Amino acid sequence: MNEPEQNILAIIQDVFPLEERPYLVLAEQLGSDEQSVFAAVENLRQSGIIRRIGGVYDSKKLGFISRLCAGKVPTISAGTSDDSALNEFAATVNEIPAITHNYVRSHEYNVWFTIIARSETEIQKIVDEVCSKTELHDVHILNATKKFKINTVMGAGAPANRIGDEKRHCEPKAKQSPAHFLSANDRARIRIACTDIPHTLTPFKDWGVTCDELRDDIAQKRMRRFGAILRHQEAGFAFNAMVCFANSEFGFQNSELKKAGEILAGKRYISHCYERPSFEGFPYTLYAMMHAQSAEELDRNIKEAAASIGNPDYAVLHSLHELKKTSFRFFA
């Protein structure tokens, strides 16, 4: 990326202008012209750095739930002769829209995937389906008992902590609208806003969605942000790991976990931080997703993060393969 593209990304990851001529607004901020900014964004899309530009919605506030699943699939690294079981698993998952993210990680529990659905029953049915069609086994479905940080904005301009930060949109605070109050128009708009904006100078008009409606989704806290969603590897953050810190029996006291989560949430190289329940064979409850531009930088970040919260026992699950990464399309 050149410097103008980096400057554009620093803005549009967090806040893509919800204006009729968004590229003109960006051009005014950057001291450029509309066509040049549009061309730069198009280049970032075509190069694969930008996956899409659109809304990032809060599943819970739309009447859905999200669960992280950990399981085991036989692979060459686990002593098998080939990766046919993993390939079969990946192909099966790719056909299920409710599964949005799917990674192979460096641990005995080697596959980790995310499911978004309307109920625990529906999530269990999806897991059972995958297990019946593949060699996936020993699956644990994990909820987030506490969210310390949700922030996929990468780079020097990334905010330290996304949770509760509404000021960036300059919108008045509003009472959250329960999911059952969503109108047919709301559902249709949200379904559209989960996709990629048209590649035009007037994307919202061409989408058939008004900027006022999207601003209202933010004010109502249905939408976390409207911006560019990146492919981290193409954006220069090719080294990633999920670092899981021990539970109270092996590390934290319960009263300390909240403080530790808040400390980790303040680190710019951490994009996500959750508390999740431990399970047999995996005595960890505090999960932090860390990103870096080199293996050495990632190792330094992990050690610095651990030291900042008292060096509890932890496991590093490196991201070995990204099998699937998509955005869930609500009400599709």
Q: Strand locations in the chain, DSSP E?
A: 50-57, 65-72, 99-105, 111-117, 137-142, 146-150, 223-230, 239-246, 270-275, 284-292, 314-325
> Which long-range contacts (C-beta less than 8 Å, at least 24 apart) are formed by 249-258?
249/283, 250/283, 250/312, 250/313, 251/312, 251/313, 251/314, 252/285, 252/286, 252/312, 256/310, 257/285, 257/286, 258/146
pLDDT at 159: 47
Global pTM reads 0.86
**Residue 256 identity (one-letter amino acid):** E
Say what the alpha-carbon torsion angle 247, 250, 252, 255 is, to the nearest 10 degrees. Answer: 80
Q: How many CB atoms lie within 10 A of CB 220?
A: 19
pLDDT at 96: 97
The CATH topology of domain 3-56+174-223 is: Arc Repressor Mutant, subunit A (1.10.10)
**Residue 143 identity (one-letter amino acid):** N
pLDDT along the chain (332 residues), means of 10: 88 94 97 96 94 95 96 82 92 97 96 97 98 98 94 52 40 48 93 97 97 96 93 74 80 74 94 94 95 95 95 94 93 91
Q: Is residue 288 within 8 Å of residue 264, measured between CB atoms?
A: yes
Q: Strand locations in 197-294, DSSP E?
A: 223-230, 239-246, 270-275, 284-292
At 229, phi and psi to the nearest 5?
-100, 125
Tokens representing 146? 């506490």
DSSP, res 108: S
pLDDT at 195: 96
Q: How far is CA 47 from CA 5, 43, 242, 250, in A?
A: 12, 6, 26, 45
Sign of CA dihedral 177, 181, 185, 186: positive
Sign of CA dihedral 9, 10, 12, 18: negative
At 32, phi and psi to the nearest 5?
-125, -160
In the block, tokens 């932090």 appear at 288
Mapping DSSP to helix (H, G, I), strand (E, B) and coil, where does residue 191 land? helix
Sign of CA dihedral 291, 298, 115, 284: negative
Q: What is the DSSP string of 85-107?
A: HHHHHHHHHHT-TTEEEEEEESS
pLDDT at 25: 97
- Cα–Cα distance between 15 and 28 in angstroms, integer? 15
